[in-house]
Amino acid sequence: MGLTIQQVVSRAFLLLGTTGPLFATYFWINQRNSVEHAPLTMPDWVPFLPILALPYLALLWTPTLGIFFIREQQCFVRYVISFVIAYGTVAAIWIFFPSEMTRPELAGDGWSVYREMVSVDRPVCILPCGHIVGPMLVCYFLAQENHKHLYWLIPILVFGSFCIIATWQHRPVDVLIGMIIASCAAWICQRVLPTKPGPHPKAP
């Protein structure tokens, strides 16, 4: 059974009210100029593919997918709380352990999407990766409802992670640490928040 319009709207307000301040915090951290950042270096074997900027930006919208695809209300609430815990943890690391990484120079006049992206997003807040938190949690809780979702979730998550790395937003280890933080937050929520008995949607 699908969600009603009222459920979608209420979920949208809940997600916006909880995650909106977190994203505002990110931009505040990202735009600080009076902070000394620890320089990080991308491994030599990682390619630089600015053509992947568009799918990378699409990945940033995946936290909103939980509004529509996570059917159980308890699972959705855990998803939102997990997001707040995980992203709050990542932001705290950015504040107390600021880091930066130099991005490659672009040749020619192309790659307009990538140029616009890096003109707004400074090359800081590298360790850990916050962009993977939302996608990781969406995958985690959708898989909790139906493990068969993993057949299409894992390829998307792997491709999204590659886009983050290949556009030189984060190093592979930064993405891995972000995944671990998100997984720990989800695990904590599942243990702390009790499951209320009720009907479960049938697997398709």
User: Average pLDDT, stretch 179-194?
Assistant: 92
* Range 26-33 contact pairs with CB under 8 angstroms and sequence separation of 24 or more: 26/91, 26/94, 26/125, 26/130, 29/91, 29/94, 29/95, 29/98, 29/124, 29/125, 30/121, 30/122, 30/124, 30/125, 31/122, 32/98, 32/124
**Cβ-count burial 5-21 (b if 16+ within 10 Å, e if not):** eeeeeebeeebeeebee
pLDDT at 129 over 80: yes
Half-sphere exposure of 132 (CA within 13 A, CB side): 30
For residue 195, the model assigns a pLDDT of: 62
pLDDT-wise least confident of 45-49, 121-125, 139-143, 198-202:
198-202
pLDDT-wise least confident of 2-6, 79-83, 138-142:
2-6
For residue 146, the model assigns a pLDDT of: 87
User: Average pLDDT, stretch 72-86?
Assistant: 91
Its pTM stands at: 0.89
User: Average pLDDT, stretch 169-186?
Assistant: 97
Of the candidates 164, 132, 113, 4, the one whose C-alpha atom is nearest the C-alpha of residue 62 is 132
Q: Is 74 exposed, middle or buried (0-12, 13-18, 19+ CB in 10 A)?
A: middle
The SS3 of residue 8 is helix
Residue 41: Cβ within 10 Å count: 8
Residue the block writes with tokens 């979730």: 153
Half-sphere exposure of 171 (CA within 13 A, CB side): 19
Residue 166 token pair: 């290949």
For residue 68, the model assigns a pLDDT of: 80
For residue 102, the model assigns a pLDDT of: 94
pLDDT in tens, 20-67: 898 899 989 999 888 999 999 999 999 999 999 999 998 888 777 777
pLDDT in tens, 136-176: 999 999 998 888 888 988 999 999 999 999 999 999 999 99
Based on its alpha-carbon atoms, the radius of gyration of the chain, rounded to whole angstroms, reads 18
Identify the residue with better confidence: 108 or 134.
134
The SS3 of residue 196 is coil
For residue 194, the model assigns a pLDDT of: 65
